[in-house]
Homo-oligomer: A and B are copies of this chain.
Amino acid sequence: MQAIDRITTGTGSKRRSPLRAIVFRALETAQAGDRLSLVVDVLLVSLIVLTVAAVVLESVPSFAARYGDELFLFEVITVSVFSVEYLLRAWSCIERERGDGSLRDAFGRRLRYLTSFHAIVDLLAILPFFLMQAGLFGNADMRFLRAVRLLRVLKLTRYSPALNMLVTAIVENGRSLAAAFFILLTVMLLAASGIYYFERDAQPVDFGSIPAAMWWAFSTLTTVGYGDVTPVTTGGKVFGAAITVVGLGMVALPTGIIASGFAAQLKMRSARFEESARRAWDDGVLSETEKQELERYRKSLGLGRETASQILDAGKVQRMLEAERAGRCPTCGR
């Protein structure tokens, strides 16, 4: 089942540098029954959560004043662990696919990994610390670098296949979402200049210029509606009411795009799963191994349990129909 092979990475890795292979499998997201990898995952995930919590708490003056040293110590520990992780991943990454063993090939794949999203996130998780230690930054930058440390939360993206499905759905419809965003900006511009036209005299501070009026336009078109600034003139209120209605459309567009894009994703993945299911049913029976493989594949596709079982049953039913009807077409009845 190539469909499934595609996702069971490193299966053949036993035949390569054992240690590196072990490290690779340990750092990989745990497959069913891989205890070592599972432990590593749990440790790393907890550390990520803790360090993010630390960064957040550090921004509380009282807390920072009281536990400054502990926070710094914990930061040092975190960074060292993440640094080791980073180096090990950079070293073992080439275990992912079997190469021709040549140095050139290995280097190329390392480079590809190091420029991948996950690798850059890992780098961003440790870089700020060293830069701050280097102390070539003013206080303002310090704040900024501290904020950057929050990006460590992105390290968690490694551990969710469903997230990947979501991201794909978004990326796939990137152009449409961009178009929706363009529409939003255009409408926002017209809304801002319109309300400016009506309210400028009544509220010279909040609506004294188009840029000023944009704050109202954004909060209205996104249906956030803070209400810190609202039109007061009759004309402004009539125009404003019209804009609130337009806001419904601004909510509808991205939602509609994501919804249909997500449905498409679901359909695509169901089709892939069905393909594998059909192959598994080819011999008329569903062996225990096949079941496990399909289950693992289902997870990796982020499909729901019922959906999957539905597909499997459908496959089974078809088998039976075909059998019972002695090769007669389920469509045309012969």
Interface residues of A (CB under 8 A from B): 52, 55-57, 59-61, 143-144, 147, 150-151, 153-154, 156, 160-163, 165-166, 168-169, 171-176, 178-186, 189-190, 193-194, 196-197, 208-211, 214-215, 218-220, 222-228, 230, 237, 240-241, 244-245, 247-264, 266, 268, 271, 302, 304-307, 310, 314, 322, 327-334
Q: What are 9 A-B contacts defined by CB distance under 8 Å?
A: A163-B182, A166-B183, A172-B305, A226-B227, A227-B228, A252-B259, A256-B258, A328-B332, A329-B333
Q: Which B residues are CB-close (under 8 A) to A172?
A: 304-307
Q: Which B residues are CB-close (under 8 A) to A230?
A: 226, 228
CA distance A182 to B79 in the complex (A): 23
Asked if residues B252 and A193 are in contact (CB atoms below 8 Å), the reply is no
Asked if residues B256 and A244 are in contact (CB atoms below 8 Å), the reply is no
CA distance A229 to B81 in the complex (A): 39
CA distance A253 to B173 in the complex (A): 13
CA distance A163 to B220 in the complex (A): 23
A175 in contact with B160 given A226-B225, A253-B166, A327-B334 (CB within 8 Å): yes
Interface of A is mostly: helix
Asked if residues A197 and B331 are in contact (CB atoms below 8 Å), the reply is no
CA distance A244 to B179 in the complex (A): 18
CA distance A226 to B156 in the complex (A): 31
Which 10 pairs from chain A and chain B are nearest by CB?
Answer: A329-B332, A172-B304, A226-B227, A224-B225, A256-B258, A260-B263, A162-B175, A256-B259, A163-B179, A218-B241
Instruction: From B211, B248, B263, give the contact of A254 (CB < 8 A).
Output: B248
- Which B-chain residue is minimally distant from A57 (CB atoms)? B211
Asked if residues B241 and A215 are in contact (CB atoms below 8 Å), the reply is yes
A204 to chain B, nearest CB (A): 9
- Which B-chain residue is minimally distant from A153 (CB atoms)? B186
CA distance A174 to B173 in the complex (A): 22
Instruction: From B160, B226, B333, give the contact of A327 (CB < 8 A).
Output: B333
